[in-house]
Amino acid sequence: MAEAAIYVYGVVRGGEPLELPDGVDGATVSLHDGDGLAVIVSHVADRPVQATRRNLEAHAAVLAAALAERDPVLPMRFGIVLPDAAAVEAEVLGASRGELESLLARFAGTAEFELKALYPDQAALLEEVVRDNPRIAGLRGRGGYHEQIQLGELVAAALDERRRSDEGFLLDALTPLAVDRRAREELPERVAAKLSFLVDRNRQAEFEERAEQLAQECHTRLQLRLDGPLPPHNFVDLALPAGAAA
Amino acid sequence: MATNGSGSGGAVATRGTASNYLQRGPSPSGLADVLDLILDKGLVIDAYVRVSVVGIEILTIDARIVVASVDTYLRFAEAVNRLDLSETGGVGLTELGGDGAKKKVQGAMEGAGDEMKKSGGKVKEMVKGGRK
């Protein structure tokens, strides 16, 4: 059969069925229960999963919906397909049970928040860089190739420094309200910082309020976006042992 | 609304205003951010990762990662050269010295024939002024 394989979204504690949206390739999502744990699954064709926008969003949406009903949710990476239900039993509920139990305990009562800081006006940012750096101002408009490379290098360094300082500002403000945090190192040009915070649910309101204050404090130079609560995608970076892997 | 200093006095009022500055979502909405969240993060059972990324639109301009390279440096240099900093006084003049302006002026000089003799001095002055 075409829909013989099983797509795996994540793991929660066992219990009542959850109200979940349709998943990858529009399939109905259900729980595969097993002795206190439940794996969030759907049927899928036995071939690689297309990383389309729709499928990626479906994966994320299923996990977010699960979190809204049952905390904690251990999210799987996109695109994990097991051959059949027996493999779910063996590879997830069997081989990884110990790991999963301890992760569920560790992430109980927490959620991840993603904070992204954008530079709202790149021209204004570059103008600042020129004004603050006499060497850059001096090299500006000089014709030579090497001078231009040097100019570019200086600008890149100045932008890096600016990023580090903006990221530091955000981390200093929010880390005290979080259990853990991660900072992305490779960033697109317009992005000043991309941070993940693991937040205790009891302090969630406080954290969100602080983020709102920060957004106001720095709105002329940074535009902040906060997403969450999310499952701890950035904090369960772990390879599960596979038993009888193909 | 009126009282909204940096302090945290009236929590409710401050919050009502502050929230206008924070974009808020349940989960990331841009494709690059969704990818960043779930494509290589989370639990994994290595032997069973089966993803096809054929045709995926990852490399949008917005998602372009800054890489240290000559190309990047030249692009930054160009962006900085292009800036119009006229309000700092005089710097804006260099804009006139750009290739475009020079070509235009040269064209005018070549094509104008006799007219050139009268206005030539003026044009040359412009070119000189523009280049400084």
Q: pLDDT tens-digit profile of A71-111?
A: 999 999 999 999 999 999 999 999 899 999 999 999 999 99
Of B15, B17, B65, Cβ closest to residue A188: B65
Amino acid identity for residue B118 in this structure: K
Residue A181 neighbours by CB under 8 Å, 6+ apart: A171, A174, A175, A195, A196, A197, A198
The pLDDT, as a whole number, for residue B8 is: 38
pTM: 0.78
pLDDT classification of B19: cutoffs 50, 70, 90: low
Judge: B44–A77 Cβ closer than 8 Å, yes or no. yes
Pairing of strands B23-25, A223-230: parallel
Find the helix or strand (DSSP H, E) in which A117 lies: strand A110-118
pLDDT of residue A142: 81
Q: With an 8 Å Cβ cutoff, is A117 touching chain B?
A: no
> Tokens 């949710």 — which residue?
A73
Chain A: closest CA distance from residue B115 (Å) = 32
pLDDT of residue B55: 57
What is the enclosing helix (H) or strand (E) of B25?
strand B23-25
Would the pLDDT of B12 be above 50?
no
Which among A159, A209, A233 has CB closest to B15?
A209
Q: Which amino acid is at A109?
A: G
Mutate which: A103, A147, A213, vs B, most B CBs within 10 A: A213
The token duo for A140 is 């500006």
Tokens 């990884």 label which residue? A96
Please give the residue of chain B at the shortest CA–CA distance from A196: B37
Which of A183, A18, A215, A66 has its CA nearest to residue B26? A66
- If you average pLDDT over residues A36-49, what whole number do you get? 94
Q: Does A187 touch chain B (CB under 8 A)?
A: yes
Among candidates A191, A201, A193, which has minimal Cα distance to A230? A201
